[in-house]
Amino acid sequence: MLKIGILGIDHRHIYGMYGQMQALGCVAKGWWTPGQPGTLPGFVERFPDVPRVDDADALLEDPEIDLILLSGIPADRAALAIRAMEAGKDVMSDKPGCTTLDQLDALRMTQQATGRIWSIDFSERFEVPAVTRAAELVAEGAIGQVIQTVGLGPHRLNRPTRPDWFFDAARYGGILTDIASHQIDQFLYFTGAKDADIITSAIGNFANPDDAGLQDYGEVLLRAANGASGYIRVDWYTPDALPTWGDGRLTILGTEGYIELRKYVDVGRDGTDHLILANGTRCAHIDASDAGLPYFQRLASDIRNRTDTAMSQAHTFKVMELALKAQAQATKLGALA
DSSP notation for 94-161:
ESPS-SSHHHHHHHHHHHHHH---EEEE-HHHHT-HHHHHHHHHHHTTTT-SEEEEEEEEE----GGG
For the chain, give every residue range classified as CATH 3.30.360.10. 125-293+325-334
Q: Identify the pLDDT of residue 30.
A: 98
Residue 92 bridge partners (DSSP): 69, 119
Phi-psi category of residue 10: left, alpha or beta, with phi > 0 → left and psi -120 to 50 → alpha? alpha
pLDDT tens per residue across span 157-188? 999 999 999 999 999 999 999 999 999 999 99
CATH superfamily of 3-121: NAD(P)-binding Rossmann-like Domain (3.40.50.720)
Query: Which of 271, 303, 280 lies closest to 25 in space, CA to CA?
Result: 303
For the chain, which ranges sit under pLDDT 70? none
Q: Identify the pLDDT of residue 253.
A: 98
Distance of CA 3 to the CA centre of its chain: 23
Architecture of domain 125-293+325-334: 2-Layer Sandwich (3.30)
Q: How far apart are CA 195 and CA 189, in angstroms?
A: 11
For the chain, give every residue range classified as CATH 3.40.50.720. 3-121
Q: Which helix (H) or strand (E) holds 257?
A: strand 257-262
